[in-house]
């Protein structure tokens, strides 16, 4: 399962352009998830606690999750080319599997998050966006998601 140098370059170039603004882009990314799938909302315990009507952008944990997913997809892209494998520390991956099982995350949610991520990057760097760039981010995300899902099977 190759991740080419050209793909890595596309992910890194767009990441570099987004980085100074990564917090607000990450927030848009998470708001997009709930636009596509409002049903994902109650999965986040910190959203449930705050009540249905609390504005999403006021949740620091939500922002943190968005930034993490964003950064991890980018990091996984660089690792993919170097090692041909997703490199998230063993302990982290194990914990991620357990957390997402506990939260009731299913395959369909990973698809929603993927669409939201791609939409958000397209919106953030429209001048750079090409089918090749989309493909590179897709590949990076898919491999990261596959690694988490694998751990989820073990944790379930």
Residues near ligand HEM (CB under 6 A), total? 22
Query: How far is it, in rounded angstroms, from Cα 125 to Cα 18?
Result: 7
Query: How far is it, in rounded angstroms, from Cα 152 to Cα 156?
Result: 6
Query: How far is it, in rounded angstroms, from Cα 142 to Cα 144?
Result: 5
Contact with ligand HEM (CB under 6 A) among 4, 35, 46, 135: 46
Contact mark string toward ligand HEM, 129..148, x via CB under 6 A: ---------------xx--x
Q: Does 74 bind ligand HEM (CB under 6 A)?
A: no
Q: Does 101 bind ligand HEM (CB under 6 A)?
A: no
Q: What b/e string do you get for 143-154 counting C-beta neighbours within 10 Å, with b at 16 or more?
A: bbbebbbebbee
Do 30 and 65 meet the contact criterion of CB atoms below 8 Å apart?
Answer: yes
Contact mark string toward ligand HEM, 52..71, x via CB under 6 A: ---------x---x--xx--
Q: Which residues bind ligand HEM (CB under 6 A)?
A: 40, 43-46, 61, 65, 68-69, 72, 95-96, 99-100, 103, 105, 109-110, 113, 144-145, 148
């Amino acid at each position: 399962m190759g991740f080419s140098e050209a793909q890595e370059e596309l992910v890194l170039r767009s990441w570099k352009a987004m980085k100074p603004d990564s917090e607000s882009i990450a927030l848009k990314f998470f708001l997009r998830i709930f636009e596509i799938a409002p049903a994902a909302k109650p999965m986040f315990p910190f959203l449930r606690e705050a009540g249905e009507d609390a504005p999403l952008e006021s949740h620091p944990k939500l922002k943190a999750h968005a930034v993490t997913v964003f950064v991890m997809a980018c990091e996984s892209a660089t690792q993919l080319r170097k090692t041909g494998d997703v490199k998230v520390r063993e302990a982290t991956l194990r914990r991620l599997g357990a957390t997402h099982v506990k939260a009731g995350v299913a395959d369909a949610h990973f698809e929603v998050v993927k669409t939201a991520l791609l939409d958000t990057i397209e919106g953030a760097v429209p001048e750079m966006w090409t089918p090749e760039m989309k493909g590179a981010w897709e590949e990076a995300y898919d491999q990261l998601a596959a690694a988490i899902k694998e751990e989820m099977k073990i944790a379930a």
